[in-house]
């Protein structure tokens, strides 16, 4: 009787007993050349977003064709996420910055969020993943 009661409570409160896995397709556009690589970090919390890829939930990189890179993440649990990406045009495997810490290579985030005197915040870039989803991110230089 107890398992039935637990299931009933979960059903009526909107809590799912099973997390849904989703596929997330991301197209990154606006790169001004096909040189280098596009690096992408998928975060499930604000920890490290957008500057620390070691804190990301998933990492990926892709070649650039006609100014566009595409990514596919499968079996991602439903929830809130944010994406940060950059165009590593010179191929040194890092985002280059000038003396003031401002990126000298193109960057982008989900929701095409921008920061005010700094990088965008997780809350501005986050999106809710509940089903298979496709996103487009525009790189800015």
Q: Helix, strand, or coil here: 100?
A: coil
- And the tokens for 75? 């079996």
pTM: 0.85
Starting at the earlier edge strand, list the strands of the sheet with 69-77.
Answer: 69-77, 21-29, 133-138
Are the beta carbons of 30 and 16 closer than 8 angstroms? no
CA quadruple 40, 44, 50, 55: dihedral sign? negative
pLDDT at position 12 is 42
Architecture of domain 18-138: Sandwich (2.60)
pLDDT of 79 over the 80 cut:
yes
Domain ranges of the chain: 18-138
> Which of 6-15, 49-58, 71-80, 119-128 has the lowest average pLDDT?
6-15
pLDDT of 13 over the 50 cut:
no
Spatial CA neighbour of 38 closest among 74, 75, 65: 65
């Amino acid at each position: 009787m107890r398992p039935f009661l637990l299931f009933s409570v979960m059903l009526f409160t909107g809590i799912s007993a099973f997390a849904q896995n989703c596929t997330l397709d991301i197209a990154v556009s606006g790169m001004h050349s096909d040189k280098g690589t596009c690096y992408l970090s998928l975060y499930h919390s604000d920890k490290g977003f957008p500057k620390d890829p070691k804190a990301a939930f998933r990492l990926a990189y892709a070649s650039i064709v006609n100014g566009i890179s595409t990514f596919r993440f499968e079996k991602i649990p439903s929830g809130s996420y944010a994406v940060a990406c950059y165009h590593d045009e010179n191929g040194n495997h890092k985002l280059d910055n000038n003396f003031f810490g401002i990126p000298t290579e193109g960057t982008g985030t989900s929701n095409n969020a921008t920061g005010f005197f700094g990088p965008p915040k997780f809350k501005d870039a986050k999106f809710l993943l509940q089903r298979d989803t496709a996103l487009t991110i525009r790189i800015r230089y």
